[in-house]
Chain A
Amino acid sequence: MIIIAPYAQKLRTDKENPKNYPYWKELIEQIKEPIIQVGVEGETQLVPDFRKNLPILELRTLLKECRIWISIDSFIQHLGWDEGKKGIVLWGPSDPLIFGHPENINLLKDRSCLVENPFIWWEATEHKNDRFVKPKEVLKYLEE
């Protein structure tokens, strides 16, 4: 079983969070294992099993049980690291050297995709699809 955490926190402007991975649907179509999506109410459901607003303890249990997890740069990547469970983090404009953990598989397309100042509100950054790696890159690591 694979856990996915596809979305970052909603922005106050209602614009798409620039950290959100744009190719989830394509990626999910190519995964041949059961998938559990975790997230919060209001997020788009991508798979039949969508578990919303889980308490931290339940998330920890799920992370322990999964084969691997895939997340964008959100709290799940920190929780997986804290649990000692390796996962795949799909990076866009934020810097894995600052916000990531080397124990995870950090997939960053290119450092030129990073924003100059990652410490300001994300509302100031536009979402761009071409900041992210394509699903085939993710699958290579998922199949390892």
Chain B
Amino acid sequence: MSKVLCSVATRGRYFTTLPLVLNAIINQTRPVDKLVIFDDNDEPQDMRSQMIYQYFFQMLDIKGIAWEWLYADKKGQHHIHQRANTMGYEWVWRCDDDAIPEPNVLEMLYYYTEDGVGAVGGSVLTPPYMPDTGSVTGLIDSIDSEPNIQWGIIKEEKHVDHLHCTFLYRAGVCEYNLGLSRVAHREETIFTYGLHQKGYKILAVPNAVTWHMKNPEGGIRSETKQELYEHDEQIFRNILRYRDKTIVVLNCGLGDHIVFSHVLPAIPNAEVFSCYPEVVPGKSIAQAIELFGDIDPWNVYKKMDQWKWKGKLEDAYRKLYL
């Protein structure tokens, strides 16, 4: 059975909804293999001194669930999720600190994790707002014209383009966009749509209900500056604008450009951003950063490191872009 890491990012909710979330995770019918709590509080506390948390930690130990409490670096939840994404687990179940899953949620989500599936999400209900999402498509083109499919009761399995809030996803395939601001607006939409673009199925599934007790106090997205949301929205719109292109970002050395020039002819509909346009014509790297925020997903050296690459540089480019 594949290993599932459960990650919870928390801020300002030690004594409100976080205990409810932890209790719900501990009591899943399909236990998580590890629980990691990323504490993003401005003044983090040692929760081992709190009775309710002492009980939680003991329950985890008794049930044989590995757990870790990590202090996050206050850059926003996309940085936290990226850490979880690279912790070596095959699946990550990301949970919000105010979204309480029913006991069977992980079991139901996990049921759908067959080959080719990238992410699975269930209903995320916030009473009293319960739209009928029966006719919602979940397609990215409809994102401005229909409610999110997870906001209502999902009655049947549906293939969608994106998910939000909380879901189970295949780890290490796609990266979170770290170019978003610390409010990380649209981070989960961009992330799941990225998995979809890589050819993985994104599923909205029935009988997996999480109750989103939206809490105006605390929360990882407690920032209210409008310009941060606008910045992130612009990145999201640019990603959509270029979705039919193969984005190529060559933020690397001259020799790398020369090697890459042998791969370029095989790349369909390439939109190139280049340091050496005299070798590989393209727009500037500054433009790439402005458009997409984070250009690390196109860093071939980082990828080779991640892949523990032993082959030729040229083939690493082929793996990255073809």
Binding site for B on A (CB under 8 A): 9, 55-56, 74-79, 81-82, 97-99, 117, 119-120
Contacts and interface: CB of A to CB of B under 8 A. Distances in A.
Nearest to B304: A119
A98 B312 contact: yes
B185 to A, nearest CB: 32
A120 B312 CA distance: 16
B255 A78 contact: yes
Given A56-B278, A56-B279, A75-B253, A119 B309 contact: yes
Interface in B273-322: 278-279, 301-302, 304-305, 309-313
B313 A82 contact: no
Given A74-B255, A77-B255, A120-B305, A99 B278 contact: no
B136 interface: no
Given A56-B278, A119-B305, A75 B258 contact: yes
Enumerate the 10 nearest inter-chain pairs by beta-carbon distance, A residue then B residue, closest first.
Answer: A75-B255, A78-B255, A119-B305, A78-B258, A75-B254, A119-B301, A119-B304, A82-B258, A78-B259, A99-B313
Contact of B258 (A9, A79, A119): A79
A98 B311 contact: yes
Given A81-B258, A99-B255, 20 more contacts: A9-B253, A56-B278, A56-B279, A75-B253, A75-B254, A75-B258, A76-B255, A78-B258, A79-B255, A79-B258, A82-B258, A97-B311, A98-B304, A98-B310, A98-B311, A98-B312, A98-B313, A119-B302, A119-B304, A120-B305
Contacts of A117: 305
Contacts of B189: none
- Determine which residue in B301, B309, B312 has the highest number of CB atoms from chain A within 10 A of its CB, and name it: B312
Contacts of B259: 78
Q: Is the interface of A mostly helix, strand, loop or mixed?
A: helix
A74 B310 CA distance: 19
28 contacts: A9-B253, A55-B278, A56-B278, A74-B255, A75-B253, A75-B254, A75-B255, A75-B258, A78-B254, A79-B255, A81-B258, A82-B258, A82-B261, A82-B262, A97-B310, A97-B311, A98-B304, A98-B309, A98-B310, A98-B311, A98-B313, A99-B255, A99-B313, A117-B305, A119-B302, A119-B305, A119-B309, A120-B305
A55 B310 CA distance: 32
A97 B313 CA distance: 9
Contacts, number: 40
Interface residues of B, number: 19
A54 to B, nearest CB: 12
A137 to B, nearest CB: 23
Contacts of A75: 253-255, 258
A20 to B, nearest CB: 15
Nearest to B261: A82
B29 to A, nearest CB: 42
Contacts of A55: 278
A56 B313 CA distance: 21
Contacts of B258: 75, 78-79, 81-82
A128 B313 CA distance: 24
Contacts of B313: 98-99
B278 A97 contact: no
A55 B277 CA distance: 13
A1 to B, nearest CB: 22
A73 to B, nearest CB: 8
B211 to A, nearest CB: 44
Nearest to B278: A56
A117 B312 CA distance: 15
Contacts of B256: 78
A91 to B, nearest CB: 14
Interface string B227-270: 00000000000000000000000000111101101100000000
A57 B262 CA distance: 18
A58 to B, nearest CB: 12
Interface string B139-150: 000000000000
